[in-house]
């Protein structure tokens, strides 16, 4: 790997002077930057579980620090710089909006390793990692299409970025397969975590007749709204949200970052860390499917579990053609599967979805 | 029964001392809070108030204090003029967003042409204009139709946020961003970048503008007839009218100026520390500036100090989170206490607490 020096500022120079890089005796210091509170019960909660798993796995050999509720932008840059200054060897920045700040701070601290979740910009000391959540969405879509009686499925989307659009497409594709009459209503909440907004969105969708709510936001507010309504099905997002099982939460997508975090910390300890782009799914265990409860009919449950196993084994790709784009043009021919490049930058709906992606 | 009795002549000394007393009270109450969270209160308070200025990494934090205080001071100065005259612009956050959008849009329109002497000044003008324009909406609605500027300016914040989201996803989206929202990074575009003037010092043009605004406001209020009119209107609108002050013009002046300054703050932020237009670009400077304005007693020098203090609680609070493991909510509660104590001591400055029944008058 090419060795670059970015002695751009006095900050970097001083950081190098005070840098406490692992010398085999001092614990490896691992920092985490969180976009939400660790008690959000969803996205940040799972990243924090990954942090705790690192602590448990390595014991005295690691020291972890974290900062929660870090806004995406200038404040994130400061939070990362602070951790780097205080001697962090490896910093996980766990939200898409930290992309440019991560790259900027990484350039000033060439000896600190950075891992940015869900982004696409890398450097010699910046890796990216993400999970194939769309694999879980396929299973959700299958259950949702079977469970809906009104044929209306509500979808609380966060931001119109490829990751979210992939999820919508995957869920719709598999709901439509088992229920050709199914319709998706998509609400863009423009937040990852805002219980009040999420609850409003869920209530509005339920009032409009949706009896299944899928969410790409991190709080349990939609679960609570569904529980109040009584007959609405939901799925845990990012975390199991098991407190709402067996109903309204009938299953969930669980992000399990622990194995990845442990593996990367180990790489830093061994001195084998390299900049990589990781995108793992159900197979390697980064995406987990939470228990499918008995509220789901037994045959549907069995099909869903079979799909989970097939995806995990690499026998089935959720985006297998024929699939057309929303405008009717061909995206994937029969039998063709989507390339990772197509998926990574996905910015279109597939055929049958109504409405437009906001822009 | 406890009741409050208005003091006939509130002490001038106390009016200036209350912010200091509030800070001390916050430290004590905050220390107790941290103690309950099993953290050493002395260490926690030192991490928040002392380490960013004098600690091991002060060379970095001092600059960051300026980065954080700059927009707060710039916005608060504008707001304070209106507040003095009883004109309540609560929507500086929206004007801040619009300034950023206008400024960034002008910069991006020229991309990739390099001509800093032309592009950067144009962006500054556009930023100020964007904020001015957004503040003129409540201004004109108030002077024409007598609407309430508090409500109109506040609700326009949410409109501005929607425009911001739309801009990051549509018009201003980075065409090379692989479909992700957010504009090009202005910091990587030489002609539009508002970088630090001296690397590591935190001082960028927005901070310079904030200091100029402080001096400008000080002169305006103490030497200029407009400053006299503002103070007179605030203290006695009737007397002001007799003195020939045109209330409509004053409303437009105060709202327009505070909007322009908020817009400037937004522009400097988007071209500098933030770097790009994104959905989450605004982080509440426009609202925090209201606290800064009052914490600084609506006085330019006071606002300068209050802005620095507020920045210190942010920076130190973040440091305490990372190094002591204090939860973010505890830091927010700590900042909330500051405003709470300030308001509480203000009440005690202006009112006397009486126990027992009301005496016969």
Domain co-membership, A180 together with A46: no
Give me the mean pLDDT over the B217-221 stretch: 93
Percent of chain B with pLDDT over 90: 50
Q: What pLDDT score does B245 carry?
A: 86
Give me the mean pLDDT over the B253-272 stretch: 96
Q: What pLDDT score does A21 carry?
A: 45
Q: What pLDDT score does B359 carry?
A: 56
Domain co-membership, A93 together with A227: no
- What is the phi/psi pair of residue A36, to 5°? -120, -175
pLDDT tens per residue, range B311-321: 999 999 888 88
Q: What pLDDT score does A199 carry?
A: 94
Q: Do A160 and B169 touch (CB under 8 A)?
A: yes
Q: What pLDDT score does B195 carry?
A: 85
- What is the phi/psi pair of residue A323, to 5°? -135, 130
Domain co-membership, A126 together with A145: no
Which residue out of B168, B179, B332 would a mutagenesis test of the A interface target, given it has the greatest number of A Cβ atoms within 10 Å?
B179
Nearest to A98 by CA among A109, A90, A106, A108: A106
Give me the mean pLDDT over the A19-30 stretch: 64
Residues in chain B, how many?
Answer: 361
**A261 found inside a domain:** no
Domain co-membership, A46 together with A127: yes
Q: Do A10 and B199 touch (CB under 8 A)?
A: yes
**B37 found inside a domain:** no
Instruction: Number of A to B CB contacts under 8 A, please give it.
Output: 105
Number of domains in chain A: 2
Nearest CA in chain B to A341: B178
pLDDT tens per residue, range A226-274: 999 888 999 998 888 888 888 889 999 999 999 999 999 999 999 999 9
Answer with the one of A88, A104, A131 that is the final residue of a domain. A131
Q: What pLDDT score does A16 carry?
A: 43
Domain co-membership, A102 together with A160: no
Q: What pLDDT score does A185 carry?
A: 94
Domain co-membership, A211 together with A310: yes
**Partners of A332 in the beta sheet?**
A323
Q: Is A117 exposed, middle or buried (0-12, 13-18, 19+ CB in 10 A)?
A: buried
**A158 found inside a domain:** yes
Q: What pLDDT score does B357 carry?
A: 66
Residue range(s) defining the domain that contains residue B204? 61-294
Q: What pLDDT score does B56 carry?
A: 84
**A269 found inside a domain:** no
Q: What pLDDT score does A18 carry?
A: 42
Q: What pLDDT score does B301 carry?
A: 94
- Among the residue ranges A17-31, A124-138, A156-170, the one predicted with the least confidence is A17-31
Give me the mean pLDDT over the A49-61 stretch: 94
**B262 found inside a domain:** yes
Domain co-membership, A215 together with A334: yes
**B333 found inside a domain:** no
C-alpha A355/C-alpha B137 separation (Å) is 32
Closest CB from B278, B315, B323 relative to A73: B278
Distance from CA of A250 to the nearest CA of B (A): 31
Average pLDDT across chain A, whole number: 88
Give me the mean pLDDT over the A331-342 stretch: 90
**B219 found inside a domain:** yes
Q: Do B318 and A75 touch (CB under 8 A)?
A: yes
Q: What pLDDT score does A183 carry?
A: 94
Q: What pLDDT score does B201 carry?
A: 80
Q: What pLDDT score does A1 carry?
A: 35
Q: What pLDDT score does A358 carry?
A: 79
Percent of chain B with pLDDT over 70: 98
Closest CB from B199, B280, B319 relative to A71: B280
DSSP B194-230: ---SSTTS---HHHHHHHHHHHHHHHHHHHSHHHHHH
Model confidence band, residue A296 (pLDDT cutoffs 50, 70, 90): very high
Domain co-membership, A192 together with A175: yes
**A264 found inside a domain:** no
Model confidence band, residue B358 (pLDDT cutoffs 50, 70, 90): low
Q: pTM for the complete prediction?
A: 0.83
Give me the mean pLDDT over the B119-127 stretch: 95
**Partners of A233 in the beta sheet?**
A212
Give me the mean pLDDT over the A162-178 stretch: 94
Q: What pLDDT score does A162 carry?
A: 87
What ipTM was reported for this prediction?
A: 0.81
Q: Do B60 and A81 touch (CB under 8 A)?
A: yes
- pLDDT above 70 for B213: yes
Q: Which residues of A touch B (CB under 8 A)?
A: 8-11, 14, 18, 31, 37-38, 65-69, 71-75, 77-79, 81-83, 85-86, 96-97, 100, 104, 120, 159-162, 190, 344-347, 358-359
- pLDDT above 90 for A152: yes
Nearest to A186 by CA among A213, A220, A161: A213
Domain co-membership, A159 together with A229: yes
Give me the mean pLDDT over the B100-105 stretch: 96
Q: What pLDDT score does A331 carry?
A: 93
Non-local CB neighbours of B101 within 8 Å, separated by 6+ positions? B130, B163, B164, B167, B172, B266, B270, B277
Q: Do A65 and B276 touch (CB under 8 A)?
A: no
Domain co-membership, A216 together with A74: no
- pLDDT above 60 for B279: yes
Distance from CA of B166 to the nearest CA of A (A): 6
Q: What pLDDT score does A25 carry?
A: 55
- Among the residue ranges B44-58, B96-110, B115-129, the one predicted with the least confidence is B44-58
Answer with the one of A76, A97, A131 that is the final residue of a domain. A131
Q: Quote helix, strand, coil % in chain A, to nearest 5.
A: 40, 20, 40
Chain A residues whose CB is inside 8 A of the B322 CB are: 31, 65-67, 79, 82-83, 86
**A352 found inside a domain:** no
Domain co-membership, A239 together with A169: yes
- pLDDT above 90 for A160: no
Q: Max CA-CA distance within chain A? A: 65
Residue range(s) defining the domain that contains residue A84? 10-131
A1 versus B125: which is more confidently predicted?
B125
**B98 found inside a domain:** yes
Give me the mean pLDDT over the B41-60 stretch: 89
Chain A residues whose CB is inside 8 A of the B318 CB are: 67, 75, 78-79, 82
Closest CB from A72, A85, A159 relative to B57: A85
Average pLDDT across chain B, whole number: 90
Number of domains in chain B: 1
Chain B residues whose CB is inside 8 A of the A345 CB are: 178-179
Answer with the one of A131, A151, A171 that is the final residue of a domain. A131
Domain co-membership, A246 together with A316: yes
DSSP A275-313: --EEEE-TTTTSEEEEPPPTTS-HHHHHHHHHHHHHHHT
**A3 found inside a domain:** no
C-alpha B336/C-alpha B3 separation (Å) is 25
Percent of chain A with pLDDT over 90: 68
**B14 found inside a domain:** no
C-alpha B22/C-alpha B19 separation (Å) is 5
Q: Do B322 and A67 touch (CB under 8 A)?
A: yes
Number of H helices, E strands in chain A: 11, 14
- Among the residue ranges A187-201, A345-359, B34-48, B170-184, the one predicted with the least confidence is B170-184
CATH number at residue A123: 3.40.50.2300
């Amino acid at each position: 790997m090419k060795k670059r020096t970015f002695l751009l500022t006095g900050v970097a120079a001083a950081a190098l002077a005070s840098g406490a890089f692992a010398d085999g005796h001092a614990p490896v210091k691992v920092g985490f930057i969180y976009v939400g509170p660790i008690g959000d019960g969803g996205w940040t909660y799972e990243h924090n579980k990954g942090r705790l798993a690192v602590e448990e796995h390595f014991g005295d050999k690691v020291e972890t620090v974290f900062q929660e509720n870090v806004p995406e932008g200038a404040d994130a840059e400061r939070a990362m710089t602070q951790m780097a200054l205080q001697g962090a060897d490896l910093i996980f920045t766990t939200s898409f909006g930290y992309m440019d700040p991560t790259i900027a701070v990484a350039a000033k601290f060439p000896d600190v390793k950075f891992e940015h979740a869900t982004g696409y910009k890398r450097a010699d000391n910046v890796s990216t990692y993400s999970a194939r959540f769309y694999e879980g969405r396929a299973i959700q879509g299958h259950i949702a299409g079977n469970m809906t009686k009104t044929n209306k499925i509500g979808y609380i989307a966060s931001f119109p970025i490829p990751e979210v659009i992939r999820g919508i497409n995957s869920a719709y594709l598999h709901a439509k397969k088992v229920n050709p009459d199914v319709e998706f209503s998509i609400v863009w909440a423009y937040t990852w975590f805002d219980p009040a907004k999420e609850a409003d969105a869920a209530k509005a969708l339920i009032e409009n007749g949706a009896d299944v709510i899928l969410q790409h936001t991190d709080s349990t507010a939609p679960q609570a709204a569904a529980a109040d309504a009584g007959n609405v099905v939901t799925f845990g997002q990012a975390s199991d949200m098991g407190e709402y099982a067996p109903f309204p939460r009938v299953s969930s997508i669980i992000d399990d970052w622990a194995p990845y975090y442990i593996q990367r910390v180990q790489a830093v300890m061994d001195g084998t860390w390299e900049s990589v782009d990781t995108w793992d799914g159900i197979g390697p265990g980064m995406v987990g499917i939470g228990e499918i409860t008995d509220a789901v009919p037994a045959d549907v449950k069995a099909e869903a579990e079979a799909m989970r196993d097939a995806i995990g084994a690499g026998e089935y790709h959720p985006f297998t053609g024929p699939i057309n784009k929303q405008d009717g043009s061909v995206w994937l021919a029969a039998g063709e599967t989507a390339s990772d490049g197509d998926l990574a930058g996905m910015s279109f709906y597939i055929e049958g979805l109504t409405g437009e992606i906001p822009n | 029964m406890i009741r409050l009795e208005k003091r006939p002549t509130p002490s001038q000394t106390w009016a200036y001392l209350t912010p200091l007393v509030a800070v001390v009270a916050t430290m004590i109450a905050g220390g107790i809070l941290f103690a309950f969270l099993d953290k050493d209160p002395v260490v926690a308070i030192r991490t928040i108030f002392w380490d960013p200025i004098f600690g091991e990494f002060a060379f970095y934090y001092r600059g960051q204090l300026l980065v954080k205080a700059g927009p707060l001071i710039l916005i608060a100065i504008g707001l304070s003029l209106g507040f003095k005259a009883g004109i309540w612009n609560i929507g500086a956050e929206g004007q801040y967003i619009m300034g950023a959008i206008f400024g960034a849009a002008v910069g991006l329109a020229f991309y990739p042409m390099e001509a800093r002497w032309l592009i950067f000044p144009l962006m500054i003008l556009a930023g100020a204009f964007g904020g001015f324009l957004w503040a003129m909406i409540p201004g004109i609605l108030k002077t024409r139709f007598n609407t309430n500027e508090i409500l109109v300016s506040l609700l326009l914040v949410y409109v501005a946020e929607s425009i911001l989201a739309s801009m990051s996803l549509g018009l201003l989206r980075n065409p090379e961003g692989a479909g992700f929202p957010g504009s090009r990074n202005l910091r990587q575009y030489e002609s539009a970048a508002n970088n630090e003037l001296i690397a590591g010092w935190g001082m960028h043009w927005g901070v310079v503008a904030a200091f100029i605004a402080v001096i400008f406001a000080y002169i305006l209020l103490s030497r200029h007839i407009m400053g006299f009119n503002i103070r007179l209107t605030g203290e006695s609108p009737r007397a002001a009218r007799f003195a020939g002050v045109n209330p409509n013009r004053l409303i437009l002046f105060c709202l327009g100026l505070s909007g322009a300054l908020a817009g400037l703050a937004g522009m400097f932020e988007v071209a500098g520390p933030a770097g790009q237009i994104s959905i989450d670009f605004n982080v509440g400077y426009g609202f925090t500036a209201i606290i800064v304005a009052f914490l600084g007693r609506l006085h330019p020098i006071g606002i300068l100090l209050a802005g620095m203090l507020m920045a210190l609680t942010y920076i130190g609070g973040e440091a305490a989170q990372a190094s002591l493991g204090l939860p973010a909510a505890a830091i927010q509660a700590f900042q909330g206490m500051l405003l709470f104590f300030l308001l509480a001591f203000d009440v005690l400055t202006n009112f006397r607490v009486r126990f027992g029944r009301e005496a016969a008058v």
